[in-house]
Structure 1
Amino acid sequence: MKILVVNPNTSKSMTEAIDRAARHQASPGTEIVTLHAKYGAEGIDSTFAGLLSAVAVMDLVSTYPDPYDAVVTAGFGEPGREGVQEIAHAPVFDIAECAAHVAQLIGRRYSVVTTLSRSTAAIEDRLAVAGLAARCASVRAAGLDTVEVDRDPVRARREILAQARAAVAQDRAEVVCLGCSGMTGLADEIAAELGVPVVDGIAAGVALAEAVVRMGLSTSRICTYAAPGETAVKGWPLSDLVQFLGIRHPC
């Protein structure tokens, strides 16, 4: 099978780290194609950047020329997953939702450690919309923006570990989710330090994508995620969007 892993920011170094993590998790025979946004922010730490990234991700997926079996969107809690589901030809997996699903399978309560405090609301909202908030003990911020996590790994590791430790000790978290794709690669080290499972969203996304594809399942098109209706779109950066606009909503 082929899985598209889409980094919603423009950072090439973060894309390379995401690609390594996805390939490490992928089963033999699974092809990983990792893409990054052609425009937008190098690090997504605001609603503005997040909404812009959603357009960039839809652009990448809608114009990808070859067949694929699944899409993993590698923005933790970023908007746009629902839009991608409407235009993708295969099931779509958001890493925040995937990480939380996995965490709930292996512990009663989980916490997320993310970047900045302003990013916690987007993650809380994503978990609530997905029905995954009830067992979330906390969403904690390490105090570094996305670019800093990528460029200063020593400080990032120290601050992420401190917040993960507090989540376990103070919030009674039994599992920790790394709440930024730039944190990929830290899961095993933090798990060894704290003695609790730590879930990497990229790994969770790839693993669940493989499982669903192997089960022969895909996105339901009966209503919510039906293809966009016959709507005139002008000045939109999705150059091939017209091919997706021929199906009316059935509900």
Structure 2
Amino acid sequence: MRILVVNVNTTETMTHGIGVQAQKAAAPGTEIVALTPRFGAESVEGNFESYLAAVGVMDAVMRYDQPFDAVIQAGYGEHGREGLQELLEVPVVDITEAAASTAMFLGHKYSVVTTLDRAVPLIEDRLKLAGLDARCASVRASGMAVLELETQPERAVEAIVEQAAAAVTNDHAEVICLGCGGMAELEQKVRERTGVPVVDGVAAAVTIAESLVRLGLKTSKVRTYAPPRPKRITGFPLTGL
């Protein structure tokens, strides 16, 4: 089984970290291929960058020329999953929805801890669109920019742990979701400090994607995610699809 894990930003070191986390979560025999869009922002922290990333991710997947069995969009609260589902028959899993749906098996309410406050509405909207908002206790911002997760890891951990603990104490969350693909490998530290289950969206998405492939399930093409109608596409990128 081969799963494409696509970073939504163009920072190669973050793609590498996401790929490592995905491979750790994968079952024996699953190959993880981590992709970086060839254009886009170095980090995604708002609507403009998110819409740009959606096109970049679709471009990266459609340019991959080897067989694959599933795709994971490794951006928390980002746009684009629906477009990929129109383009592909294989399962497409978004880490936002993967983390939240997994958390719902583990506790009554979950909270998401993300990066900057401006990302909170995007995540809230994605959860609402996916029908996962009813059991979301809160979406909290750590105040750390995405790239600071790499450049200031100790400060980032403290900020994330502080907000996770507040979510448990003040918002009555029973599970914490790490709200950024770049937070991979932080779950143990957050779990130790909060005492609750912690879900990393990348790892959750890998196990969900593997399950869908093993069950022989593919994206429905009856209506919502039917292939795009054939028509002329003018300009760059995705010309000719």
TM-score w.r.t. structure 2 length?
0.98
* Deviation per residue, 1:142-192 (Å, 9 max, x gap): 001111122211110000000000000000000000000111100012112
Quote the residue 2:209 is aligned against. 209
Aligned equivalent of 2:11? 11
One-letter code of the match for 1:138? S
**Is the CA contact (8 Å cut-off) linking 2:88 and 2:219 kept in structure 1?**
no
Distance in 1 (CA, whole Å) between partners of 2:13 and 2:230 is 39
Quote the Cα distance in structure 1 between the aligned partners of 2:83 and 2:187: 30
- Check whether the contact 1:62–1:88 (CA below 8 A) recurs between aligned residues: no
Q: Which residue of 1 aligns with 2:34?
A: 34
What amino acid sits opposite 2:238 in the alignment?
Answer: L
| TM-score normalized by the length of structure 1 | 0.94
Q: Which residue in the other structure is 2:158 paired with?
A: 158
Q: Say which SS state the counterpart of residue 118 (structure 1) adopts.
A: helix
Partner SS state of residue 105, structure 1: coil
C-alpha RMSD over aligned residues: 0.8
Partner deviation per Cα, 1:59-118 (whole Å, 9 max, x = no partner): 011121111100000000100000011112311000000000000011100000000111
CA distance in 1 between partners of 2:117 and 2:20 (Å): 28
Q: Which amino acid aligns with 1:158?
A: E
- Structure 1 residue 136: Cα displacement: 0.1
* Other structure's SS at 1:146 match: coil
Secondary structure of the equivalent of 2:33?
strand
Q: What residue number does 1:248 align with?
A: none
Aligned-partner Cα distance in 1 for 2:191–2:114: 16
Alpha carbons 1:40, 1:53 under 8 Å: kept: yes
Partner AA of 1:175 in structure 2: V
Counterpart residue number, 2:76: 76
SS in 2 for 1:13: helix
Listed as ranges, the matches of 1:1-251 within 5 Å are: 1-239=1-239, 241-242=240-241
Distance 2:150 2:40 in 1: 17
Question: The residue matched to 2:217 in structure 1 has which SS?
Answer: coil
SS at match of 1:112: strand
Answer with 146-155 or 70-79: which moved more. Answer: 146-155
Native 8 Å contact 2:74 2:181 kept in 1: yes
Query: What's the secondary structure of 2:144's corresponding residue?
Result: coil
Residue by residue, what CA displacement relative to the aligned partner does 1:110-133 show, whole Å, maximum 9, x if unpaired? 000000111000100000000000
Counterpart of 2:132, as a letter, is L
Unaligned runs of 5+ in 1: 243-251
Name the aligned partner's letter for residue 159 of structure 1: A
Q: How many residues align?
A: 241
Letter paired with 2:205: G
